[in-house]
Structure 1
Amino acid sequence: MKGISYSRYGGPEVLEYGEVRDPKVGPDQVLVKVRAAAVNPVDWKCREGYLDSLLDAVFPVVPGWDVSGVVVRPGASVTEFAAGDEVIGYVREDFLSRGTFAEYVAAPVRTLARKPRNLSFEEAAGLPLAGLTAYQVLVKALRVARGETVLVHAAAGGVGSLAVQIGVHLGARVIGTASERNHDFVRGLGGEPVAYGEGLAERVRALAPDGVDAVFDTIGGDTLKTSAHLLAPEGRLVSIADPEVVAHGGRYYFVRPDAEDLGKLSELAEQGVLSVNVQETFPLERAADAHRLNQEGRTRGKIVVTVDRDDAEEAS
């Protein structure tokens, strides 16, 4: 089958399009014909070796953890899905090798949920990792309650844009940092935008003089330090970007695959609570360009790689 792979750590130039090994389907796995796969910052961080201390890389590595597609064949013990079902997944294992940037992926059933019927395959591919991150941080780590004020950083990005929508759905007031060109976009999601940069603390305090109840940090560094001083008494701080959050009394969080949580996100999408903004799509053979664009860090919503349907049909 066709796919993207890399045989060593490095920049986007190490990504190669060509033949990759066909996946074996274990008892607890589902063979999925990939229709789209989203790009996430963790993808290029893995590719460059930043997660080598956490995850073994079995080269050649097929990158990608997000997927939307159609079930071809469930494994012997799988009863949750049948051939023809449309699914989404955060297909992360505890090593790097069998990713979603290919015509087919063998996905552990614990990583999958049914695809929202009202989303395109491209939109649906952008929901799993970013949506799970937003949902798990807001609901499980920060325990956001109705009436609270939440500060979400990078509110126009993949995780941030979904966090704004989930926070509003939970009944919270959501303040979101974003560049000025994205302020209308953040307002459209239900958030109150504030600009990045010098004076951020003063702008947030003007909106929340008594401090914010919770901060969802997606940036780290100086932004994290500033955030710690914006908390109300008993306020909570979680970062997905900087482990130093612990030194500021907060918690570092790494998203995990969870079929139940992913199913809830799918339901929220079908109810019209969640939408996924796709900034740009690339064909599979241009995955390196998708990585480059994502690595620039100025994405509004998601960048998605699509698999040619005709090619996938022929491969099956």
Structure 2
Amino acid sequence: MKAMILNEFGGPEVFEEAEVPKPKIKAGHVLVKIAATSVNTVDTMIRQMGPELPLSPATPAILGMDFAGIVCEVGDSVNGYNVGDEVYGCAGGLADLQGTLAEYIVADVKLVALKPNNLSMLEAAALPLVGITAYEGLMRAGIQRGQNVLVHGGTGGVGHIALQLAKYFGANVFSTGGGEPQLQLIQQLGATAINYRTDSVESYVQQYTDGSGFEVVFDSVGGANMTNSFHAAALNAHVVSTVSLLELDLSPAHFKGLSLHVVFMLIPMLHDHKREEHAAILKSLTSIVEAGALKPILDDTSFSFTDIGKAHERLASGRAVGKVVVSVN
């Protein structure tokens, strides 16, 4: 089969087209002909850092985690899937798991679900990693109807899904963005838009919560912005972080009695730990999508399989709105 591989780690130019062996079906797995994949920040990190990241595969490596495609073979002990089913998931691209920048993948059925019937293959491929991350974070924060929820980075990959899910769960949703297109998208997705470039944390906390703070803060920006999340949170609130690779003074969190939830959704893939929970979340996401309450936003660029280097550049540029997706077939 055709694949885009890395023989070395580095810049976006290191991808090479190659012919590699087609994977063979095994028990508990399905062989999927991949139609589309998407680019996530972790993909760019692996491509750049290689062995510096403990989750990176060895070279020659096939990256890519998300996929949507059609089942071609069904392994032993697999129930609920048949040849011809359209499926989606996040099932490879790290450690010893083959990635999705290839024509086929053998995927653990605990990491896949039937594709929402009202999404295209490209839209479905945009959803798994960010959808699982957003869903898990909101569940761990114990989101409840009527709560004031703040999503930092509401037009990013995880952020725009977390925003929609929080609204689906009945919260009053507010979200930060910068620039008119981003603020307009936040409004279109049903949240109150906050311009982080012009509005201070203190000002929007006062304006929207009478100074008491938000009961749930979902921080998909991370880094130094974590301090803003602590300041925006109410007493005994929940802060969800998806990017917490930093040293940070936790004093503000201590004096507010905050609960901090770090979501690292790759754990089931890396450690074969509770993988079935990912399938369960994907099934829930399918139901929410088919109910018309969730739709992944695709960046207004388009990339083919062999343009994966350009797709990585697009994501790294910071100009993408929504998910960067790639057609495989």
Match of 1:211 in 2: 213
The residue identity in structure 2 corresponding to 1:88 is: Y
Separation in structure 1 between the aligned mates of residue 96 and residue 52 of structure 2, nearest angstrom: 9
* Residue of 269, 288, 298 corresponding to 2:289: 269
CA change 1:222–1:56 in 2 (3 A) is closer
1:46 equivalenced with 2:46 (yes/no): yes
Match of 2:159 in 1: 160
When the two structures are superposed, what TM-score results if normalisation uses the length of structure 1? 0.92
Moved over 6 A (4+): none
CA shift, 1:29, in A, is 1.4
SS in 2 for 1:95: coil
SS in 2 for 1:118: coil
The residue identity in structure 2 corresponding to 1:217 is: D
Match of 1:230 in 2: 232
Match of 1:312 in 2: none
The residue identity in structure 1 corresponding to 2:6 is: Y
CA shift, 1:79, in A, is 1.8
1:100 equivalenced with 2:120 (yes/no): no
Separation in structure 1 between the aligned mates of residue 60 and residue 85 of structure 2, nearest angstrom: 29
Q: Judge conservation of contact 1:224–1:245 (CA < 8 Å) in 2.
A: no
CA shift, 1:22, in A, is 1.5
The residue identity in structure 2 corresponding to 1:216 is: F
CA shift, 1:94, in A, is 6.2
When the two structures are superposed, what TM-score results if normalisation uses the length of structure 2? 0.88
Match of 1:314 in 2: none
Q: Judge conservation of contact 2:24–2:106 (CA < 8 Å) in 1.
A: yes
Separation in structure 2 between the aligned mates of residue 180 and residue 85 of structure 1, nearest angstrom: 41
**Runs of 5+ consecutive residues of structure 2 not aligned to the other structure:** 254-259, 267-274
Match of 2:271 in 1: none
Separation in structure 2 between the aligned mates of residue 242 and residue 204 of structure 1, nearest angstrom: 23
CA shift, 1:20, in A, is 2.6
1:301 equivalenced with 2:302 (yes/no): no
Q: Judge conservation of contact 1:66–1:91 (CA < 8 Å) in 2.
A: yes
SS in 2 for 1:59: coil
The residue identity in structure 1 corresponding to 2:235 is: P
CA shift, 1:96, in A, is 4.7
Separation in structure 1 between the aligned mates of residue 316 and residue 47 of structure 2, nearest angstrom: 11
The residue identity in structure 2 corresponding to 1:265 is: L
CA shift, 1:80, in A, is 2.4
The residue identity in structure 1 corresponding to 2:123 is: E
* Residue of 254, 262, 285 corresponding to 1:252: 262
Deviations 1:107-165 (A, max 9, x none): 111111000001011111111111111111011x2111111111111101111111111
Match of 1:311 in 2: none
The residue identity in structure 2 corresponding to 1:152 is: V
Q: Judge conservation of contact 1:5–1:61 (CA < 8 Å) in 2.
A: yes
- 1:112-151 aligned at under 5 Å gives the runs 112-139=112-139, 141-151=140-150
Q: Judge conservation of contact 1:151–1:214 (CA < 8 Å) in 2.
A: yes
